[in-house]
Amino acid sequence: MPLLSAMNRIPGLPLKKRARVVAMIAPIALLAACGSVPLPPWLPPVSQPAPGSPTSSQAPATSAPVLVEPAVVVQTSPVLPPSVVANAPAEAPAPYSAAVAARFPAPPVVYSTPGLQPGRTSFSSQDEVHNWLRDQAAALSRSVGVKAALVPFGTSQQGQPLEALVLTRGAGTDPAALVEGGRPTVLLVGQQHGDEPAGGEALLVVARELAQGLLQPVLERINVVIVPRANPDGAERGESATARGQDMHHDHLLLNTPEAQALARLARDYRPTVVLDAHEYPVTGLYQEKFGAVPKFDALLQYSSVANLPEFLGKADEEWYRRPLLAAIKGRGLSAEWYHTTSKDMADKKVSMGDSQPDTLRNAQGLKNAVGLLVETRGADIGRLHIQRRVHTHVTAITSVLGSTAQRANELGQLLPYIEKEVSALACKGQATVQAANTLAQYDLQMLDPVTGADKIVSVDWDSALALRPLKSRVRPCGYWLAATSKTAVERLRLHGVQVLRVAEPSALLGDLYRESSRSSPDSAQQGLRGTTGGQPPAQKIEVALTRGVIDAPAGSYYVPLNQPLANLVIAALEPDTATSYFANRLLDSLASTARVMSEPSVRTEELP
């Protein structure tokens, strides 16, 4: 659809505003249209711009999403014994009218994990999760050709084990065997926020269905790594944050928490092609007070929306994943919308999609050239109410993602090496976006009348992540120099899988030196949408000026080349004025500790052990 007619379809958007929005995104559309990179032959022709691509409208369609035939190839409903169905737990009274609650009937199947047993008042305990995963691994080991292992991959702040269930038909369950086997790996992550239980319980269901149920056939084509509980300390206390009060959901670039560090190491080693991050969103309070309406959607979805995301990865996110996922959700009588949230400031009527900061799992994984997906179900703040439906929504979404990956296994196997080569080839010459922002539009958001439960359209200011506006760009360096004192930054980069080299003899490098030109506190509304920092001060907003000069690089300092697949992640971490930079977050002590290397260095370097 042409951009202008797409804009004209946004009801309520004043003409002047339409013109302004078009003016903002027209250069991006032009850029995409003139893109010099030819579409790889294995990609299906795109007949219309994807809603998530830079060529399309920045606001989602206000009508129902365009549905295509589901790509899901796997039958999934868990078949449960009738006795379990008969003992379905009674749901708690609703914090809203019976008419609203009636919009969310229980699904036609009943899921049965330890935490979903009739009469239970608590969700699965850490021991129950461990035993359940161990039992699935044991059940699978009796199947011919399928291997499973329960892999400890770290320790929480309170000393609880972090565990992943690895399932594969490859030669073994270690990372090398999975990578060598050539099948794409899907990493499923639940409960980064400890008080969002449906994702964790759903992942137990999915583990069982993969091990001994209807999902097992997908293992012919893909590997699956399941982390039902990324934040066990938070889950145990029914709290969002980690034991030290940090929000690990926003810690996937800096890696300050042991939980995010462990997850980064797991992803570095198992190299997932797709990462799905399962959450829940709150439905009482805020929206009712601010908009006089109750959130409606069973699922909120978003994929990587971050500066420098490779174009074809964005297309794969949209066409190979989101569209089949929407079809699957809709096919089960459930509803979905783009992920969105709103600040606690009652005067701020803006509703924002997930932002472009590279600190969430979906965005950091996008910068690692993987498909990054966020799925949030309806009800972080309603206890056990509608829990079967919430779990059903997650199981439906995850099943779709597993099915899409199985169906696209060959194309993904071709696309990802192509993207890695393309990203590496941009070193020394391509442009990099350092700062980008969402675009504002009007949007008619569907909600529910709190009394009658009927659909209620609420017109909101909509902060869209679908067309990022580049605010500041600069030429990509050949790499970054880091002083020998930059040990923490080097360690974090290497946890991500970034190649860091050590300068072996004193050298002089041609480069851009940074000078801090201004420093300010982050926008408070934006900060309000982010999680707790566990007492750490929020990052400062840094602006810098560049001066061309000679970098004196002593032996023992570091060189981070950009001709590597994770170059986009390196840029997000090391340009000091990005939204989540290592300098602004004190992982680098001084701007004198880093510089942009602007010509291919002839310096002798060595690999780190």
The site for Zn ion (CB under 5 A) is made up of: 193, 196, 279
Of 279 and 378, CB closest to Zn ion: 279
From first CA to last CA, the distance across the chain in angstroms is: 52
Of 100 and 241, CB closest to Zn ion: 241
Pair type for strands 507-520 and 541-553: antiparallel
Of 65 and 199, CB closest to Zn ion: 199
| Residue of 116, 120, 125 whose CA lies nearest to 198 | 116
463 in Cβ contact with 528 (< 8 Å): no
If you compute the radius of gyration of the chain from its CA atoms, what whole number of angstroms results? 24
We find the least distance from the C-beta atom of residue 603 to Zn ion, in angstroms, to be 44
Of 193 and 476, CB closest to Zn ion: 193
| Residue of 524, 396, 453 whose CA lies nearest to 75 | 396
Q: In 497-552, where does DSSP find H-type helix?
A: 524-528
We find the least distance from the C-beta atom of residue 432 to Zn ion, in angstroms, to be 29
CA distance 491 to 418: 28
Residue 75: other Cβ atoms inside 10 A: 12
Give the HSE-up count for residue 155: Cα atoms under 13 Å, Cβ half-sphere.
3
Of 200 and 314, CB closest to Zn ion: 200
We find the least distance from the C-beta atom of residue 348 to Zn ion, in angstroms, to be 20
Of 135 and 239, CB closest to Zn ion: 239
Of 209 and 359, CB closest to Zn ion: 359
| Residue of 441, 440, 439, 446 whose CA lies nearest to 287 | 446
CA distance 604 to 100: 67
| Residue of 154, 299, 146, 335 whose CA lies nearest to 224 | 146
Of 194 and 561, CB closest to Zn ion: 194
Of 11 and 285, CB closest to Zn ion: 285
We find the least distance from the C-beta atom of residue 137 to Zn ion, in angstroms, to be 27
We find the least distance from the C-beta atom of residue 196 to Zn ion, in angstroms, to be 5
Length of the chain: 609
- Please report where in the chains the tokens 């890696």 appear, as a residue: 255
Judging by beta carbons within 10 Å of its beta carbon (0-12, 13-18, 19+), is residue 483 exposed, middle or buried? buried
99 in Cβ contact with 453 (< 8 Å): yes
**One-letter amino acid for residue 64 of the chain:** A
We find the least distance from the C-beta atom of residue 379 to Zn ion, in angstroms, to be 12
We find the least distance from the C-beta atom of residue 157 to Zn ion, in angstroms, to be 18
223 in Cβ contact with 185 (< 8 Å): yes
Of 193 and 323, CB closest to Zn ion: 193
CA distance 215 to 209: 5
Give a three-class secondary structure readout of 99-131: HHHCCCCCCCCCCCCHHHCCCCCCCCCHHHHHH
We find the least distance from the C-beta atom of residue 228 to Zn ion, in angstroms, to be 14
Of 315 and 340, CB closest to Zn ion: 340
We find the least distance from the C-beta atom of residue 236 to Zn ion, in angstroms, to be 16
We find the least distance from the C-beta atom of residue 406 to Zn ion, in angstroms, to be 27
CA distance 340 to 352: 5
We find the least distance from the C-beta atom of residue 277 to Zn ion, in angstroms, to be 8
Q: Token pair of 155, please?
A: 């320790």
Residue 81: other Cβ atoms inside 10 A: 10
